[in-house]
Structure 1
Amino acid sequence: MTDQNRKELLHKTGELYKQFIENQDEQRAAKLAAVMKKAADEEVYIAFTGHYSAGKSSLLNCLLMENILPTSPIPTSANLVVIRNGEKRVRLHTTDGACAELVGTYQKDKVQQYCKDGEQIESVEIFDRYTEIDSGVAYIDTPGIDSTDDAHFLSAASILHQADALFYVVHYNHVHSEENVKFLRSIKESIPNVYFIVNQIDRHDETETKFGDYQAQVEEMLCNEGISREALYFTSVTEPDHPFNQMGALREELRRIEKQSKSTMQALTEQKVRNLLKEHTEMLKKDETGAPSFAEQLNIQTGLVQSLRDQLDEAEKQTTEAEKRMQEEINLILKNANLTPFEMRELAAAFLESQEPSFKTGFFFSKAKTAQERDKRRNAFFSDVAKRTEAEADWHMIDTLHKLAKAFDVYTAESEKLIQAYRTPLDISIIERAVKHGAAFSSEYVLQYTKDLAELIRKEAKREATDIIKVLSAMVKERVSKDVQTINDRLLPESEKLVFLQEQARLENNAREKTDRLWAIWEEESACPMHIDTEWFKSKKTRVAAPEQKQGRSQLTAQPMPKSEIKMEQEMPLQDQIKRFYTLSDILGECSMLLKQTSAFRERVKRLEERKFTLALFGGFSSGKSSFANALVGERVLPSSPTPTTATINKITKPINGNLNKTADVVFKTEDDITAEILQLTGIPKEPAGRSFTEKWEKAVKKNRLQEEHVKLISNFLLAYEKYQQYIQEQKKLTIPLSELKPYVAEETTACAVKEVTVYYTCPLTEKGITIVDTPGASSMNKRHTELAFQYIKDADAFFYMTYYQHSFSKGDRSFLRKLGLVKESLSMDKMFFIINAADLAKDKTELETVTDYVSAELVKEGVYEPQLFTVSSKEELVGKPESFYNQFSKVRKHLDRFIEVDVKKASAAQVSSEADKLCETVFQLHQSQHQSREEKEAQKQRLMLSFERTAADIEKRRNSKTIIEKVKKDTREQLYHIAQRLSYFANDLLKSAFHPGLQNGDWKKNVSKAMTTALHEYQFEYIQEIKTLDVRMSGFIERHINEEWLDHFQKTLNEDGYFSVYAGDQHSNGIQLKEVEPEIEERAFEQELKEIKSPKQFFEQKGKSAFIEAVRMKLTKITEAWIKNEEESLISHYTAHLRRLQEDMGEKAIAQITDQKETYLRGNAEGEHAKEIEMAYQACISWKNSDNTIKM
């Protein structure tokens, strides 16, 4: 850039700056000043951004060969850090607009603390004589774009538009995150050079994925976003000699950017100014509102006012025309009504004949017979007349009056009732009134008579209809009067608006002139003044002292796990105890009178022995669930990859029902499943029409304007459908060897159509009856994934939640964790285990403890108190590396074993042990009865029967008890209230993050609309998750109360008598079936709130955002209250019906059990009978009781 060019550019932008200020566009004026300050200083800005915890700060330290920035596996950068070559000093820019400076010697760790203080410090500038930074170059480190703190994103966005080059850094395992794609799309238009760095390439495992395949996937993703493969770099800070490390090539590219020519710098500056100018002129065209031009609005308004005037004329016409048109319609009906057809004339002739004075009939023409015949003919004729009048007139009249009422917009409940009651008023006298006395009876007279009669009927019909028409006409007048008033009420302000727009359209030319003047300033050559005023782009910040750093850590800390290993008690294992139970059942099985009870006892022992356990794996995006599952079983069973693999539900279980080891059953989705998934993911409003599945979706791709990824999604489904059509249509299982599994779980062209995969694999874990379930990411917004996730939370015996060592929790993860926190308190035992995977990344114990403390504290923030937290390295466990300070896999196994063998099985085993004791007690009582006198036996029998009646009555009372039902109702209502409260808070946070300044990039109105759509979708999803959580909590609540009522309180009552015992069984463990909820919410419900967003300036600078968020939140609260009101009774009915079934089931089983026990006692009470069997059983029970038969795990 020559000095003359520089002066000319400064002069032009100075003039533009003045115009921006005059046009009240302070935001873009500030951006213009920042761009020109950079140009005046002739600096090159190189910015680094990306996912938080992707290693940006470590990478920059490595590139600059200085430990400048704070680094940690947990998020550290909380503000902007700008690093420059110069005299040693630090400049701090505070969030309240002040500036402080540290000159000379300073403590590096203190400066690094400032870099972490996002609350007080907005940005930090660090100057020193760095050998790796040329003069005139600034390196910029930003907070992660996926940061959960809104302020982090805002501070990043405020500087990125100035960058000459942007390096977007991602962790090796998180390349395919949707956040990456979103950010790249939002920024690539405004920054000339965008690069993509895949950091920590040392995490690559060639045995999992070939590097060439991984690189091709990344290149394809970037190509789709318009970024060339030359802008892609793979780096490793920890392993400089890694074969795929391109740190050297990256340094060379940075040197090239640093040394760019002045002409290149000027071109980049001009491009940035041009972009800002374009944004500013677009704002002028839309009058800062995003609305059409005034000329366009004037055309629309002119049409609107004319339309209102036409409506007024039409309304006034309706008053006079309504009654006239109605009369014409009913006249037409009556005219066309064939009331006296030819078929009627025979009856008319017979009637008329009977009216002649000379008419006589009967034997000897008796008067009675004649009168009787006259009545008969009169009634027959009138009946036919009435029937034909109803069919030919009344029905048509009712239909026409209905149509008229609707046509004139007076169809109300009142008018509908009036019209429906319409009947032509006929009585038998009408046929007599039409008779012309004295006329000679003939066929001609009969014809004339029927015409006269028809006319009489028409008059009656018209008179009745006219009464209704008068009522309808009055209603029309009333309605028109209101319409006229409404139209006039609208016409006056719209006419005033028309006058206003006519004036504004004239003034709009001024805006066009401003736009023309702005572009003229920029494009035309002009003679520069000798003196250039550069004050306009200089910082005006107040100088203050360096702020004091906040001391101490957050008081919100998690309860740490005990550091010592949990030791298993060296006592009798459960399997030995099960053998002893079988021994007892074998011995007592010899006693015929105990056959039924012994058989039931043996069945319960068998269930205990064969009980299967489900271990579910949840976790965030690319947290290593599949790798962890593989480490648990000791082999690479499930495909694992740095790209997300689990798009299906994958199970690992021991071979059953003839399945071979190391095979897998693949179950495909149905056509309906695939259709529902496509509709949800693409936003296509409804299923397209077509003769076949393939045809309709090929049409949908052509018909709808879909995003590229949605086209690819449908293409993948169609490819999978074509290949596996038979399995999809017939729902047949596909059995494959383990070596062929990868495409079905990890390659989207196949996995997209797979519903579930069950892998059969023999290992110590599966041999214990444990099935491992590897689920899709916990934050998945796929409806089916959500259903399955909550089903497994409810039904799984234990589950692990995985998080990655260097990338803890995203927004979606936190939402899911909050639900786990709510569920945790309702569980009878803590079945949640939290895993920090890839802990081999830890530099040392201190760093590992920092990460562990951070994750623990974050879990507590989301309501997961006292988490069972472990650090592991699945990678090292799989290759058999010795355990180290960071890899607690053996500890995980011990905790899991103890949980399954002790915590889970103990309750069931204790019940079986109690049953064994009760069985022995029964034998003892039977033995005692064999040695009693007849009187003692009779007294015993009486006590038994009394106890039976008392127990049966108690069972009946508990079966019909409403105590738990009332508790369920109360708890449901209480929980729904808290759900509404939580959703209100959620809405506030959601809207704050959804409507951020980044929406100003591109089409403002379109971005705002899209943000609203996305926010509403997330809100719906949150509500669905809340209801699912409620289902899980209520399932635990009901199970707990049933156990208390029947196994605790009732059993204590039974123990007082000593005759009976009740075994609950496992039926209630299935819990409540999760309820389907489909909340409906549409963006158009918020049209008014969206209309209030006038412009970015009004929204962000004039408190428009806070008012908007509050208005939307209030409306969402009302919508949620309506949802909850609609669901409340349904949920209560759902829960209480489930509870009643449980109570009924428990009652029936209890009655059956005590009845069997009573019959056994009565048979044993019979003198001399079964004495030998009872004696043998007695001796066996004595021996068994004397041995150590307590449950010890």
Structure 2
Amino acid sequence: MMETTVRSMTEALSHAAAEMQSAGDSLHAKQVLELNSKLAEGRLTVAFCGHFSAGKSTLVNRLCGAQLLPSSPIPTSANVVAIRGGETAKASVVSLKNGERVSVDIPLEELDAYCKDGENIESVSIYYPTDRLGDHTVLLDTPGIDSTDDAHRMSTESALHLADVVFYVMDYNHVQSEINFAFAKQLKDWGKPLYFIVNQIDKHRDRELSFEQYRKSVEEAFQAWHLEPAGIVYLSLRQPDHPHQEWEQLELLLSQLAEERVPLAAYSVDASLHHLVAEHKKWWDLRDEPERERLIAEAGGEEAAAKVRAEMAQLEAEKNRLAEEPEHLRVELRRSVQSLLDNAIITPAPLRDKAHVFLESRKPGFKTGLLFAGAKTAAEQERRLETFRTEFASQVNAAIDWHVKDLLRRAAEKAGYPADRMEQELISGLSWQPEPNWLIEKVNTGATFGNEYTMVYSRELAAEVKLIYRKHAFDIIDVLAQHVAAASTAAADEVAAQLAALGEQAGALAQLAALTQRAAAH
């Protein structure tokens, strides 16, 4: 199903780019083609945004395990640096010389000096051999959003169409600044996974406020702005051993996202395409505004054209609603499923206790009884495994399975999808139960068994189960969206017929209607 989705999306991107280019909108056509290239590359693209002083570049350097980014901002027209895995360390710089684009590969250590002397640099890509990136992840380092240079802010915003996931980096002391909330809200409107990174937590002073109180104040501040990030990570790059450091959680998160790069990229590109199409329509409307004003004047003024325009606007709105309904359903259901999974607690303390007992039985050298020790040990291991498996399955069913199915059943009913087909063809494939061997395979036999590893094991199980349910649920949502799209097409045809009837009116009003319809088509 995913291969079909990607192939269909590639065709949609090529068609949209061609339409935009033929209309003269080369900027948005170029961005749509970049989406096609990104989809073909098959890598997870992670963008880091935030203030200049928040430590984005330092964070990216540490993730890559090397000082890759220059000490000062690169003066490119894009001001976004892409970092990929590669066999050798190098930088690829694209410059505009004598009206032609020239690509030059240079040693990484010469990048800083090259960019200072370079003119008309359009883009910079860095390649570095690191397992963190491999052939699966691209990191984007963007300019600070608090820059006084409008081009910097615009380049940061323009980079978002390529990002599958956005990490918004904030300074500990400036988390609750208005510019953070405003930009984060803009990111949320894209519908892409958004994570907050609160950096420089070494500035925290417990005598003024406990760290838990600070953490709570941060969460409440974002809730007040109706922002629900996919997660918040607290870091101190200056003090790696800081007690509230969450570096390992960040590394684990990036690994999990990389594993889900294919569906994440498909979802991201889909969201970006709809955003760019909307931006193209705004461009089209602005281009046609002078002609629209001339036609209104020829029609006898605003009042004479207002009635027809109002009717057409109402029909256009209905047509757009019908066209957007499938994607709106897809986006909202995915958000609801993601929110449900993010909030689901499937490894509470009582279950972790059973996990601890189970893990204890998997330790090398575990033995029970004196006589017939081998048989008794095997029986005890089996008993502990089944006890943990049963309780874990029950917790997954109560915290995730029932809720996800209920959400999808209600969505299917609202969309008019036949209930019997929903159960037989879709819901039946969603059910999941932890197999004994699956639980055993997840055990790291080389770990030091104890309370700390029990926590790690429980977190890994929870993350894996959520990924499984998200994939199955997203597949079902795609089917529901296709069903809604088929129903919307018939209704949209009827609306189009009414629009055509209005467009047949003579003179300037007919031309105005045609102009409005042409704008809607783009």
Calculate the TM-score normalised by the size of structure 2: 0.54
1:835-914 matches, within 5 Å, as none
Distance change (3 Å), C-alpha of 1:47 and 1:207: same
The alignment status of 1:227 with 2:227, answered yes or no, reads yes
Distance change (3 Å), C-alpha of 1:304 and 1:70: same
CA contact (8 A) 2:305 2:509 kept: no
2:512 corresponds to which of 487, 505, 530: 505
- CA shift for structure 1 position 84: 0.3
CA contact (8 A) 1:122 1:155 kept: no
Q: Deviations over 1:321-352 (max 9, x none)?
A: xxxxxxxxxxxxxxxxxxxxxxxxxxxxxxxx
- CA shift for structure 1 position 258: 1.7
The alignment status of 1:131 with 2:131, answered yes or no, reads yes
Distance in 2, matches of 1:290 and 1:199, equals 49
CA contact (8 A) 1:79 1:115 kept: no
- CA shift for structure 1 position 239: 0.7
- CA shift for structure 1 position 161: 2.2
Q: Deviations over 1:108-129 (max 9, x none)?
A: 2x21345667964343101121
Distance change (3 Å), C-alpha of 1:502 and 1:107: closer
Distance change (3 Å), C-alpha of 1:234 and 1:282: same
1:233-248 matches, within 5 Å, as 233-248=233-248
Secondary structure of the 1:161 match is helix
CA contact (8 A) 1:79 1:117 kept: no
Q: Deviations over 1:40-79 (max 9, x none)?
A: 2222211111101211111111122111113479x99993
1:82 corresponds to? 82
2:143 corresponds to? 143
Distance change (3 Å), C-alpha of 1:252 and 1:127: same
Q: Deviations over 1:262-302 (max 9, x none)?
A: 23322222222122223334555676449989998888826
Give the letter aligned to residue 106 of structure 1: P
1:435-834 matches, within 5 Å, as 501-508=508-515, 510-511=517-518, 514=521
Distance change (3 Å), C-alpha of 1:148 and 1:113: farther
Distance in 2, matches of 1:229 and 1:512, equals 35
Distance in 2, matches of 1:295 and 1:157, equals 36
CA contact (8 A) 2:77 2:120 kept: no
1:187 corresponds to? 187
Give the aligned CA root-mean-square deviation in angstroms: 3.9
2:94 corresponds to? 93
Distance in 2, matches of 1:150 and 1:262, equals 33
Distance change (3 Å), C-alpha of 1:79 and 1:35: same
Distance in 1, matches of 2:98 and 2:258, equals 30
Distance in 2, matches of 1:281 and 1:105, equals 40
Distance in 1, matches of 2:46 and 2:34, equals 15
Q: Deviations over 1:921-971 (max 9, x none)?
A: xxxxxxxxxxxxxxxxxxxxxxxxxxxxxxxxxxxxxxxxxxxxxxxxxxx
1:165 corresponds to? 165
Q: Deviations over 1:511-542 (max 9, x none)?
A: 16835xxxxxxxxxxxxxxxxxxxxxxxxxxx
| Identity fraction in percent | 31
- CA shift for structure 1 position 157: 2.4
Distance in 2, matches of 1:179 and 1:513, equals 33
1:336-347 matches, within 5 Å, as none
Give the letter aligned to residue 38 of structure 1: K
Gaps of 5+ in 1: 307-497, 516-1193
Gaps of 5+ in 2: 307-504
1:212 corresponds to? 212
- CA shift for structure 1 position 135: 0.7
Distance in 2, matches of 1:249 and 1:103, equals 37
- CA shift for structure 1 position 232: 1.2
Distance change (3 Å), C-alpha of 1:284 and 1:240: same
**Which structure ranks higher in relative contact order (CA pairs < 8 Å, sequence separation ≥ 6)?**
2
Secondary structure of the 1:166 match is strand
1:198 corresponds to? 198
Distance change (3 Å), C-alpha of 1:223 and 1:277: same
Distance change (3 Å), C-alpha of 1:65 and 1:508: same
Give the letter aligned to residue 31 of structure 1: Q
- CA shift for structure 1 position 139: 0.3
- CA shift for structure 1 position 190: 2.0
Distance in 1, matches of 2:279 and 2:9, equals 19
CA contact (8 A) 2:195 2:229 kept: no
Give the letter aligned to residue 91 of structure 1: S
Distance change (3 Å), C-alpha of 1:31 and 1:206: same
Distance change (3 Å), C-alpha of 1:291 and 1:106: same
Secondary structure of the 1:256 match is helix
Distance change (3 Å), C-alpha of 1:303 and 1:255: same
Give the letter aligned to residue 94 of structure 1: S
1:59 corresponds to? 59
- CA shift for structure 1 position 227: 3.1
Distance in 1, matches of 2:164 and 2:98, equals 25
Q: Deviations over 1:564-606 (max 9, x none)?
A: xxxxxxxxxxxxxxxxxxxxxxxxxxxxxxxxxxxxxxxxxxx
Number of positions where the alignment pairs a residue of Structure 1 with one of Structure 2: 323
CA radius of gyration, larger in = 1
Distance in 1, matches of 2:156 and 2:118, equals 12
Distance in 2, matches of 1:509 and 1:34, equals 29
Distance in 1, matches of 2:103 and 2:180, equals 36
CA contact (8 A) 1:198 1:235 kept: yes
Distance in 2, matches of 1:508 and 1:101, equals 41
CA contact (8 A) 1:294 1:505 kept: no
- CA shift for structure 1 position 229: 5.7
Distance in 1, matches of 2:187 and 2:292, equals 26
CA contact (8 A) 2:196 2:229 kept: no
- CA shift for structure 1 position 504: 2.2
CA contact (8 A) 1:219 1:229 kept: no
Distance in 2, matches of 1:305 and 1:18, equals 33
Distance in 1, matches of 2:287 and 2:102, equals 41
Distance change (3 Å), C-alpha of 1:39 and 1:294: farther
Give the letter aligned to residue 276 of structure 1: L
- CA shift for structure 1 position 305: 10
- CA shift for structure 1 position 103: 7.7
Distance change (3 Å), C-alpha of 1:28 and 1:100: closer
CA contact (8 A) 2:32 2:276 kept: yes
Distance in 1, matches of 2:230 and 2:139, equals 21
CA contact (8 A) 1:194 1:227 kept: no
- CA shift for structure 1 position 242: 0.3
CA contact (8 A) 1:91 1:125 kept: yes
Q: Deviations over 1:824-874 (max 9, x none)?
A: xxxxxxxxxxxxxxxxxxxxxxxxxxxxxxxxxxxxxxxxxxxxxxxxxxx
The alignment status of 1:156 with 2:163, answered yes or no, reads no
Distance in 1, matches of 2:131 and 2:77, equals 23
1:106 corresponds to? 107
Distance change (3 Å), C-alpha of 1:102 and 1:16: closer
Give the letter aligned to residue 107 of structure 2: Y
CA contact (8 A) 1:143 1:153 kept: yes
Secondary structure of the 1:156 match is helix
Give the letter aligned to residue 143 of structure 2: P
Distance change (3 Å), C-alpha of 1:134 and 1:28: same
The alignment status of 1:27 with 2:27, answered yes or no, reads yes
Secondary structure of the 2:126 match is strand
Secondary structure of the 1:188 match is helix
2:390 corresponds to? none
Distance in 1, matches of 2:279 and 2:195, equals 25
